[in-house]
Amino acid sequence: MTTEDYKKVADKIPKVPGVYRFIDAEDTIIYVGKAKSLKNRLSSYFGEKKHQRYKTKTLVKNAVRFEYTVVETEQDALLLENTLIKQLQPRYNVSLKDGKTYTYIVVKKERFPRVYFTRRVYKDGSNYFGPYTSKHRANILLEIIKKLFQLRTCKLHLSEANIEAGKFKVCLEYHIKNCLGPCVGFEDEESYNQKIDQVKNILKGNVKPVKDYIKDNIAKYSENLEFEKAQEFVEKLEALENYQSKSTVVNTSIQDADVFYIRSTDEMAYVSYLKIVNGALINSDNLELKKNLNDNEDDLLAFSIDYIREKFNSIAPEVILAKKIILPGDVQITVPQRGDKRHLLELAEKNLKYFILQKKKESLNKTKRQTSAERILTTMKEDLQMDEIPFHIECFDNSNLQGSNPVSSCVVFKNAKPSKKDYRKFNIKTVVGPDDFASMKEVVIRRYTRLVKEDQPLPQLVIIDGGKGQLNAAYEILQSLGLENKIKLIGIAKRLEEIFFPGDPIPLFINKKSESLKLIQQLRNEAHRFAITFHRDQRSKNALGTELTNIPGIGEKTAKKLLQTYGSVKRIKGLPNKDIEQAFGLNIAKKLADYFEEE
């Protein structure tokens, strides 16, 4: 969408709160935003381009039109914006980097409910508590529940039919130590459900009702002179108080509150969250967001608060922040300057500081873990302006002696190391005389026609050892095969180590100390060595053929054995016929004798 397009409708845009939507050519909403003044906010997208962020320019470029909805207040705009973002998931809105799977503690909806860990939340009527960002903390909580209350752990379906069929015996044999046997009437359902109510209180952070429940049992059993049972509850009370002393108690006068603190950079925003229940810190989390477009801290913080409170099922009436912002719903916002609530903000800030340091360390370690091959190939990708890292590289070279015995070689490097099992030799079949251009065309078309036909992986980079002539010859073949956009092709000239690209007369000079140039040189040298070695083998083979293999009845294997035994053709000529007959038989000795006699 251009500035001219905007100017045509600018006069009709009101200066009132609202929500606007940018829409692309496929009629898809790609961005949702809110504004105190729709006219002022929308005009900012079509103002001076040099002051806009790159992502803002990209959004405007991809949009063909915009729509807006007028609302009564800025708070209404925030509510509508949040709803639309959740519903539409626009491409250019806030990106949450929160793909972690968290632990929950579930109180299962069933007769004599079980309490256990889960990572999945189902809409089955059960009570799910969490998510717990620390599995260790959740485990401590579950352990204290097990110490305080004996609950059912088996998965036995407690129907009347199962009880009558005697299936409860399995429960008695394996689980009687963990529960009091409610399935067989050893514990009444009302008593069991009272314990479940106290479990829910602990999971909600309401420790006082649980203490009252335990103290009532101590008093009851003491009055009935059941001192052993009273002692059991005394031990439970001590365990609960010990657990509570290990949690971070702030101040019981604070009651329930959510604490948020935000810090941001040009690209990222980080939010720390503390959940306070009855003055105790019972949970915490950190959120990482990727900033887009015109996102500011207030918008990101409002988005994060809504997201985190929904994730943790928080209905705390108070939200503690470092500055005032507008939030949807009936929530009290507190910006403390001193006291315990200020201490909570400082604690959230401290947590966030360590979280950001950890993220930076992880990023640094990830960079350090990069192998030397990855580093070199990444540098090569940048030097050659490639779209992908060249993990698979092939290099070609020709070799001949005044046009005789023309051959070519193809060496293959994978992950910056030679893959010798993939090396290939080529005898030139269709070219007569010393024609490097035609030879290069022949081997390239033979190599990649076969790879395509056999559905083999293609290299990301092909290097031609030679100047622009051989490079252009190879490029013609890639074009004929339709591979010019799938394979990056370069040539390297020996004199100044210039890198040439097809159709570009100006070469690229890579720094002589660059690791990527050294790898290209290594490929070139290896291809040259492999081609020269193959050429010499062919010359030796053909030289051998002018003598012994020209003798009728003497094949390559026999000729090779004769040379290995006697060293040279000249020596074979001077040997007595009987010596050859003893070593190779009468037939071979006679053929050699007849040939040399005629010669």
pLDDT of 491-531, one tens digit each? 988 767 888 899 888 888 888 888 889 999 999 999 999 98
The secondary structure of 458-480 as a DSSP string is PPSEEEEES-HHHHHHHHHHHHH
- Find, among 214, 206, 270, 213, the residue nearest to 237 by Cα: 214
The pLDDT assigned to 51 comes to 52
Residue 101 DSSP class: P
The residue that leads in pLDDT, 158 or 238, is: 238
pLDDT of 328 over the 50 cut: yes
Tell the residue number behind the tokens 């980080």, with chain if given. Answer: 270
Mean pLDDT value of segment 282-300: 79
- Find, among 394, 397, 447, 405, the residue nearest to 429 by Cα: 405
Distance CA 295, CA 95 (A): 11
pLDDT of 399 over the 70 cut: yes
Q: Are 168 and 180 in contact (CB under 8 A)?
A: no
Residue 247 DSSP class: S
Q: Which CATH architecture has domain 546-598?
A: Orthogonal Bundle (1.10)
The pLDDT assigned to 44 comes to 87
pLDDT tens per residue, range 531-562? 888 877 776 665 545 567 778 788 778 887 88
For 377-541, give the CATH class: alpha beta
Domain 257-366 indexed as CATH 3.50.30: no
Q: How many CB atoms lie within 10 A of CB 208?
A: 11
Mean pLDDT value of segment 365-385: 80
The DSSP element (H or E) to which 366 belongs, if any, is helix 339-368
Predicted confidence band at 319 (pLDDT cuts at 50, 70, 90)?
very high
Task: Report CA Rg, the chain.
Answer: 40
Mean pLDDT value of segment 561-569: 79
Which residue(s) pair with 515 in the sheet?
A: none
Mean pLDDT value of segment 353-363: 79
Q: What percent of the chain has pLDDT over 70?
A: 86
Q: Can you give the residue ranges of every domain in the chain?
A: 3-93, 103-248, 257-366, 377-541, 546-598
Most confident of 179-188, 465-474, 505-514: 465-474
What is the pLDDT of the chain when averaged over all its residues? 81
The lowest-confidence range among 134-143, 240-249, 448-457, 468-477 is 240-249
Mean pLDDT value of segment 168-178: 54
pLDDT of 592 over the 90 cut: no
Beta strand residue intervals within 363-428, DSSP E? 392-401, 404-414, 417-418, 424-427
Q: Which CATH architecture has domain 3-93?
A: 3-Layer(aba) Sandwich (3.40)
Q: Is 377-541 in the same CATH topology as 257-366?
A: yes
Distance CA 582, CA 561 (A): 14
Q: Are 320 and 345 in contact (CB under 8 A)?
A: yes
Q: How many CB atoms lie within 10 A of CB 511?
A: 9
